[in-house]
Amino acid sequence: MSSLLRILENEVQIAALVFLVVVYAVRLAWLFRFKVHKDRTVAAGSEGAGIGYSLMAIAMPWSMESTRRRPGFYAQFVIFHLGVAAAIAASFVIPYAPGFFEIRPIAALFQAIIAAAFVVGLIRLVRRLTNPVLREVSSPDDYFSLALLVLWFAAGVLALSSRPERGEWPLILFFGLTAFFLIYVPFSKIGHYLYYPLTRFYLGRALGHRGALPPARQKRAAAVAGERRS
Amino acid sequence: MPYIEIEERKVEVNEEGFLTHPQEWTEETAKFLAKAEEGLEELTPEHWAVVKFIRDYYLEKNLAPMVRKICQATGFPLMKIYDLFPSGPAKGACKVAGLPKPDGCV
Amino acid sequence: MRRRKAGPSGVVEAPLDVRSQVQAREEGLLSVAKGRLKTYEPGDNVRKFLDLLGRRVSRPLAVSLTACVHCGLCAESCHYFLARPHDPTMTPVWKADQIRKIFKRYVDWTGRVVPWWVKAGSVHDDEDLNRLKNIVFGTCSACRRCSYNCPMGVDTALLVRFTRGLLTELGIVPEGVFNVSRDQWETGNQMAVTETDYLETLGWMRDELRTELGTDTVEIPVDRPDCEVLYTINPREIKFDPRSIAHAAKIFHVAGESWTLPKWGWDQTNFGLFSGDDKLGAFVARNVYEAAERLRAKRIVISECGHGYRSTRWEGYTWADFDQKRPTESVVITLKRYLEEGRIAVDPGRNTEPVTFHDSCNIARSGDLVEEPREVLARVCADFREMFPNRRENFCCTGGGGLLSMAEYRPLRLEVAKIKADQLRATGAKLVCTMCHNCVDGLNDVIKHYKLPMRVVQVLELVANALVVPEKSSR
């Protein structure tokens, strides 16, 4: 293995990761400087239940009309983010536990997930370029992040099947992009995973306090089914 | 601004059918609005009693009268006002009487 | 910044009408003179706007502003977009972006350094602020359906209210919004009802009720201390249709309730919710809470109103910095209790026409009452049908967010009401029942415009219809 690759998949990653963590810490501190108004009312429900339900929302596609109506879109979301998780995992496994990927079925599984995410990424890129609503609201960051992520997935698939002695460029590309993302993500929409717990917490707490969430299970079925009773 | 045509005269109304310029009101206007907005084919003397009171009140005080005053002046109970003008005193009777749209997030 | 062409139905280009504001200043109205009610003055409004934005963003708002990933799932939850699928400016994401882009440019990080990269932008003059006003007041009813459907939990409806609040502080509001705010500041109620009119109307309804029931024992008390219930109403009930007050009084009478209306602080509606003005919200809500304190009432009961319920039961305590000390409930809850405790008897056979129920946004999505009105209706109606979708997934009546007071946005509102019309028609019901006065008018507009063979009623009316009055009034 060349010294470039060794430094890239090790020291550079760690430096980038430290940078990411530091910036995120500053970002969170900045967000927490904004004030919260204290709710003066007596609760009609449970804030805890509301928060829990809200945090779990993305894992409950039946609970929101938007995801219920678009199961294909939701499936894409799942595959895409599994790909992200797999690629991130690979960026740790390759330098620190390479033996893991010597087991062919495991490497193949990771490749398959990341390849599927690659395909979904392409679909999403086409959507963002052709859907009139998304064209109207999308920023260069939206397009760039998605395109680069798609490239990263491709690099990941190639990196997982390559051997350093046969040509290092897939691995260099993969780890180069990983390092780039670690630096870029906190300033981009990709950092949304940091905000998800926060938006969900505040929405869930407010609506849980009022007893608006979570909905009782049998009543949600009625809301969807449109029962007739006379 | 949209308008309605009454006897070849163009009268301006706002988006809800209220007269933009209340001074342009005539009895013909009232009949037209009653038919178009309330579905009333003709106006009985009882309708006119309500309309006349509202119109006179508005011209004197530049305000729409409260429904209680309408009932007191005409002697009609509240139910009767709703019978005469299905949209109610504000959106029905006041509109026919040529008043401008009442304020308020009603 | 790219100048946008005339937007949906020209709504974006509706001009700023300040005639009544000028008049208010000339008349030296107290609320204007004391700086509570803001009026528009040409000048450096953009700078003031940006300053307010920076100072007023709270943490829940900040996370809603940063978390959007432009996925577009909110689009199909909004009746504005569903009725106009060719128009991206009708989507919640686009509307939220109009304030988000400014936040990105002046408060957030990346947008301050490379604005074009994250589509950060700004407002440059009062024309831009006026367009923003048209967007947040005229193309959204703040129904919160988008907030419930966002995978990230972005609360777009809250962002819309926030933006409205900034503009209200500068007097850049639709004329209807200014007029109603002025009335509520000056008189304590949204429709400028005077104390004399208020008291005389209550007396009139009491007299009619006494005639109807054939007894002098029925009362409509005002400022009676130490009662169980402090009843608060919508000014519309005084000004246009006091029948609901008579219904409530009859029910309280039969239930043997100790109740009163207050002489001041009787308005449970709250235009501060719609204009985004927390100061107005606090003023109105505090009037109610202090009336309850003054009269030592055990609980506050709110007549049927969606935004009034949300404002008085929930938001008002926070706006007014007033700890909730007594139960504050909707009259529908009171009715439910009477029915369960057997304090009133009803005969569902008196309401035979098929009834459907319209869940109001401020009660079902921003409040807690979904099953309770249904439990009441189940007892007083013979033929009840759900509309679809319903409960928290219901569509707005299209008259929400104060839209009913803004005539310039009516054509668009009625156009997008097609979604609601289809929903109503599909039930086959003759009556649509709702707990909100705004919805009554919003739905009436939909029914009239789309020629639906239906009528709107409220829960109080249906209960009063079904009420079995005992032969002899015992009190």
Query: What domains lie within chain A, and their CATH numbers?
Result: 3-34+63-214 (1.20.950.20)
Contact A66 C76 (CB under 8 A): yes
pLDDT of residue A155: 95
- Apex CA C11: angle with CA C94 and CA C308, to 5°? 80
Asked if C154 and C219 sit in the same domain, the reply is: no
In this complex, is the C-beta atom of A206 within 8 Å of any C-beta atom belonging to chain C?
Answer: yes
CA–CA distance, A34 with C56 (Å, rounded to integer): 9
Tokens representing C163?
């933006």
Nearest CB among C190, C240, C269 relative to B88 is that of C240
What is the least distance, in Å, from the CA of A213 to any CA of chain C? 8
Contact C242 B89 (CB under 8 A): no
**pLDDT > 70 in chain A, percent:** 92
**Inside any domain, residue C3:** no
pLDDT digits (tens, 9 = 90+) for C380-430: 999 999 999 999 999 999 999 999 999 899 999 999 999 999 999 999 999
Average pLDDT over residues C447-460: 94
**Would you give the DSSP letter of residue C370?**
S
Asked if C322 and C400 sit in the same domain, the reply is: no
Asked if C363 and C285 sit in the same domain, the reply is: no
pLDDT of residue B103: 65
Average pLDDT over residues A206-211: 94
Q: Which of C12, C55, C110, C319 to mutate to test the interface with A (most CBs of A within 10 A)?
A: C110
- Cis omega before residue B45 (within 30°)? no
pLDDT of residue A219: 53
Asked if C386 and C412 sit in the same domain, the reply is: yes
Q: Which helix (H) or strand (E) is B6 found in, with range? A: strand B3-6
pLDDT beyond 50 at C472:
yes
Give the range among B15-24, B46-55, C287-296, C333-342 with minimum mean pLDDT.
Answer: B15-24
Sheet architecture: strand order including C299-302: C259-260, C229-232, C299-302, C328-330
CA–CA distance, C313 with B37 (Å, rounded to integer): 37
CA–CA distance, A66 with A61 (Å, rounded to integer): 8
Q: Which of B38, B57, B105 to mutate to test the interface with C (most CBs of C within 10 A)?
A: B105
**Inside any domain, residue C178:** no
CA–CA distance, A17 with A171 (Å, rounded to integer): 18
- Does the ipTM surpass 0.90? yes
What is the least distance, in Å, from the CA of C410 to any CA of chain B? 7
pLDDT beyond 90 at A113:
yes
Tokens representing C141?
């009813």
Mean of the per-residue pLDDT values of chain A: 91
**Residues 6 or more apart whose Cβ sits within 8 Å of residue A36:** A202, C58, C59, C60
For residue A197, report the phi and psi dihedrals to the nearest 5 degrees: -60, -30
CA–CA distance, A90 with A108 (Å, rounded to integer): 12
Contact B78 C242 (CB under 8 A): yes
pLDDT beyond 70 at C314:
yes
pLDDT of residue A215: 86
pLDDT of residue C263: 97
In this complex, is the C-beta atom of A32 within 8 Å of any C-beta atom belonging to chain C?
Answer: yes
Asked if C196 and C335 sit in the same domain, the reply is: yes
pLDDT of residue C224: 97
Residue spans of alpha helices (H) in C34-78? 45-56, 59-67
Asked if C281 and C389 sit in the same domain, the reply is: no
Sheet architecture: strand order including C355-358: C384-385, C355-358, C431-434, C455-458
**Would you give the DSSP letter of residue A138?**
-
Contacts with B71 from chain C: Cβ below 8 Å: 204
pLDDT beyond 90 at A102:
no
Asked if C324 and C362 sit in the same domain, the reply is: no
For residue C57, report the phi and psi dihedrals to the nearest 5 degrees: -65, 125
Residues pairing with A102 in the sheet: none
Tokens representing A220?
């949600």
pLDDT of residue A163: 66
Write the burial class of residue A115 (CB in 10 Å: 0-12 exposed, 13-18 middle, 19+ buried).
Answer: middle
pLDDT beyond 80 at A226:
no
- How sure is the predictor about B106, in pLDDT bands with cuts at 50, 70 and 90? very low
Contact C191 B104 (CB under 8 A): yes
pLDDT digits (tens, 9 = 90+) for C344-357: 999 999 999 999 99
Q: When comparing pLDDT for C13 and A229, which is higher?
A: C13
CA–CA distance, A201 with C455 (Å, rounded to integer): 41
Domain assignments of chain B as residue spans, ordered by start = 3-96
Contact C197 B71 (CB under 8 A): no
pLDDT beyond 90 at A128:
yes
Residues pairing with C419 in the sheet: none
Mean of the per-residue pLDDT values of chain C: 94
pLDDT of residue C8: 56
Final residue of a structural domain among C173, C203, C220 = C173
pLDDT digits (tens, 9 = 90+) for B19-68: 888 888 888 889 988 888 888 888 899 999 999 999 999 999 888 888 88
Tokens representing C273?
């919710």
Contact B15 C410 (CB under 8 A): yes
**pLDDT > 70 in chain C, percent:** 97
Beta strands in A38-109 (DSSP E): none
A contact chains, 3+ CB pairs < 8 A:
C
pLDDT beyond 90 at C146:
yes
Final residue of a structural domain among C341, C365, C387 = C341
Asked if C226 and C319 sit in the same domain, the reply is: yes
- How sure is the predictor about B105, in pLDDT bands with cuts at 50, 70 and 90? low
Type of residue at C279: K
Contact C70 A136 (CB under 8 A): no
Nearest CB among B68, B77, B106 relative to C200 is that of B68
Asked if C230 and C281 sit in the same domain, the reply is: yes
CA–CA distance, B9 with B3 (Å, rounded to integer): 10
**Inside any domain, residue C165:** yes
pLDDT beyond 80 at C285:
yes
pLDDT digits (tens, 9 = 90+) for A142-157: 999 999 999 999 999 9
Q: When comparing pLDDT for C61 and C474, which is higher?
A: C61
Q: Residue C459's domain spans which residues? A: 348-466
Q: When comparing pLDDT for A55 and C4, which is higher?
A: A55
CA–CA distance, B14 with B18 (Å, rounded to integer): 6
**Residues 6 or more apart whose Cβ sits within 8 Å of residue A32:** C59
pLDDT of residue C156: 97
b/e per residue C105-142 (b: at least 16 CB within 10 A): bbbbebbeeebebbbbbbbeebebbbbbbbbbbbbbbb
Average pLDDT over residues C277-305: 97
Average pLDDT over residues C445-466: 94
pLDDT of residue B80: 85
What is the least distance, in Å, from the CA of C112 to any CA of chain B? 39
Tokens representing B62?
């530049």
Helix axis angle for A104-130 and A71-96, nearest 10°, is: 130
For the question of residue B105 being annotated catalytic, the response is yes
Give the range among C1-5, C50-54, C374-378, C431-435 with minimum mean pLDDT.
Answer: C1-5
Asked if C307 and C411 sit in the same domain, the reply is: no
**Closest listed residue to residue C402, CA positions, set C307, C317, C336:** C307
pLDDT beyond 80 at C241:
yes
Contacts with C152 from chain A: Cβ below 8 Å: 192, 195-196, 199-200
Asked if C153 and C211 sit in the same domain, the reply is: no
Residue of chain C minimizing CA distance to A33: C59
pLDDT beyond 90 at C220:
yes
Contact C441 B68 (CB under 8 A): no
C contact chains, 3+ CB pairs < 8 A:
A, B
pLDDT of residue B82: 83
Give the range among A154-163, C113-122, C174-183, C362-371 with minimum mean pLDDT.
Answer: A154-163
pLDDT digits (tens, 9 = 90+) for C4-45: 333 455 788 999 999 999 999 999 999 999 999 999 999 999
Final residue of a structural domain among C111, C144, C173 = C173
CA–CA distance, A229 with C390 (Å, rounded to integer): 14
**Would you give the DSSP letter of residue A228?**
B
Tokens representing C285?
């809500």
pLDDT of residue B104: 57
Nearest CB among C191, C407, C444 relative to B15 is that of C407
pLDDT of residue C388: 94
pLDDT of residue B19: 86
CATH superfamily, domain B3-96, is DsrC protein, C-terminal domain (1.10.10.370)
**Inside any domain, residue C1:** no
Beta strands in C278-375 (DSSP E): 299-302, 328-330, 355-358
- In this structure, the strands spanning C259-260 and C229-232 are parallel
Tally the domains of chain C: 3
